[in-house]
A and B are shown apart, each in its own frame.
Chain A
């Protein structure tokens, strides 16, 4: 058996809520291969962030197990590089110091963290922002730093939880192509949560569609487009076909919007 970067087997999570219990994850199983980009799409509240908290070790699953590179890591913290929806940069550290801090927490030697950070900031054209404090940067710029911070973290698996969810459409588009170019140059294993079907199709090798609560993997879609990709993909008939297919899958039966849960 080959070892997967991440292998989730039969994960269930039930929160106790007052006297009752809330079953958020039913029976979730999937894997991420080494160097693979896997996206998770699912209705709001279906438990995508909860899944990340389990992988990050903040919570323990009620059932099931998590393996990375074949090792059982259920409940262990510090095994993933993480990028949340909000940039989450410490306001009292400069851009450079923020990245260095995350790398040293991940166990990297300070000197190595510093030289790597400077090198990459220059490589992605952020050298001018290296000594700026995060609050002086635009939202898009902060997310770039946040992504770079996750990219440079030594852990093999990157978990990105709706990283562009708070950005405006145009910035979001720029960020997608920017991420794509960086990732295609240095393939890391990525688990990516998004609400945008286009985003998932543009970026990923595989898309997992979650069913509403209790969640399980309802469908798995191989994304066949060759790499390197660009946003010209949007005009590809197959792109739109797949988009409609996923959209239909997420279509609610009670007239609610599939992704936001709002009417």
Chain B
């Protein structure tokens, strides 16, 4: 891919964004909208600069919580997927229940977790694990199931045992599925962390936004949101980068012979 080509692809959305901001700025001053209802972009950036040290402190807490939850949730999801895949009959018995649990709104669990575990890190972490593990384990499981029957047949014919089949064929074949699950899990995880912090905490962007909104400091709310969006994008980008690095082969859609 040429650098100039990917650069050219960025221009249209960037231009649209700039246009939108300009329109927003103009509307706020034209209709004299009060800052506590809708601050102008410039006001938001000014507030952001003024609040920068505090914002970064809260952002660090959010990043820590998100990454911890993401790692733990991913580990739980991968472990569960491997167990369901490798233990005969486990998938048939547990997978439908797994899907069933996803009908419980995780948000409701937040309150329960606070009742059970108080306001420390533990209930937040549990919430994030609950949010994270499902997309990871489901994508992993479907990836493991999708191994090419011809390749399975070949591997068995040359005498590969179940363990070799898993490590050499099923697992590498499931990687691209896994990464799409990881991307979903990452964005769930950021949302989950913000929610958990708003629920009960004294640090983190979720807490900062709740505090600011209680004090009608709308531009600070916007500043917090902006940081969250940037963090979310960054996380997504890092995962996409790791994906690109670890999946270097390309499967032709028509398939070979």
Residues of A participating in the B interface, judged by any CB pair closer than 8 Å: 52-53, 56-58, 77-82, 84, 86-93, 101-102, 105-106, 133-137, 139, 142-143, 153, 159, 166-167
Contact = CB atoms under 8 A, between A and B. Distances in A.
B250 A135 contact: yes
B256 A77 contact: no
Contact of B257 (A92, A93, A167): A167
Contact of A90 (B153, B159, B172): B172
Contacts of A82: 154, 157-158
B257 A90 contact: no
Q: Is the interface of A mostly helix, strand, loop or mixed?
A: loop
A167 to B, nearest CB: 7
Nearest to A87: B257
A92 B158 contact: no
Interface residues of B, number: 24
B158 A102 contact: yes
B159 A135 contact: no
B249 A133 contact: yes
Interface of B: 150-151, 153-160, 164, 168-169, 172-173, 175, 247-252, 256-257
A102 B247 CA distance: 21
Nearest to B250: A135
Given A58-B153, A135-B250, 17 more contacts: A53-B157, A58-B156, A77-B156, A78-B158, A80-B158, A82-B157, A84-B157, A88-B151, A89-B256, A90-B168, A92-B172, A92-B175, A92-B247, A106-B159, A135-B256, A139-B257, A167-B257
A21 B164 CA distance: 34
Most buried by A among B151, B248, B257: B257
B159 A77 contact: yes
Contact of B158 (A87, A105, A133, A139): A105
Contacts of B172: 90, 92
10 contacts: A84-B150, A84-B154, A87-B257, A91-B251, A102-B158, A133-B248, A134-B256, A142-B257, A143-B257, A167-B257
A217 to B, nearest CB: 22
A84 B153 contact: yes
A78 B159 contact: yes
A75 to B, nearest CB: 12
A30 to B, nearest CB: 20
Contacts of B252: 135
